[in-house]
Structure 1
């Protein structure tokens, strides 16, 4: 069965992306990309937000999710789709 376009893959819960989240943000900053990972306690669903813009990105990236790992993983998928190869 063909995969639906623009669907994000399910993140691997054991990938340890939370462990390297600061390294990812720092790497993006070193490559001219402004990025943030934010938790919004006022929202009842998808409380985590990842946003990135600038540098080699042709347009800004934003993703909201229920966990930090899912949010950051999906944000990196969106960044990679624009041609940036984040090494994490």
Structure 2
């Protein structure tokens, strides 16, 4: 089964779709239905679960104060596991934030499945 969730990313990101990201719930092989018109944000929970399975602590957060100030208000942060140092990515939307985070994780040697 192929989950079409990352198809709207720029080709330079190297992400086209999520093929297989095992669920941490033990129900491997069961995939949630996503909106075919959605973007990377539809795969956010799958990405977070996969990172957790790799021993990486990760979170996606929205900051209302930064929104009110007109600054990028979505933040992705990850640390631990194979990451030698923690990393952070910010964006004005969930899609931009996650796209940036996945690209940064790849730069750090964590190849998120696609």
Task: Name the TM-score class by shorter chain.
Answer: 0.7 to 0.9
> Whose radius of gyration is greater, 1 or 2?
2
* Residue pairs, 1:5-84, within 5 angstroms: 11-12=9-10, 16-43=39-66, 44-84=70-110
* Alpha-carbon distance, 1:15 to partner: 7.3
Unaligned runs of 5+ residues in structure 1 are 1-10
Aligned pair count?
77
* Alpha-carbon distance, 1:39 to partner: 0.4
Q: Using a 3 Å threshold, how does the CA distance of structure 1 residues 77 and 37 change in structure 2: closer, same or farther?
A: same
Structure number with greater CO (CA < 8 Å, separation at least 6) is: 1
Q: Which has the higher strand share?
A: 1
Unaligned runs of 5+ residues in structure 2 are 1-8, 11-36
CA RMSD in angstroms comes to: 1.5
In 1, the alpha carbon distance for the partners of 2:85 and 2:105 equals 9
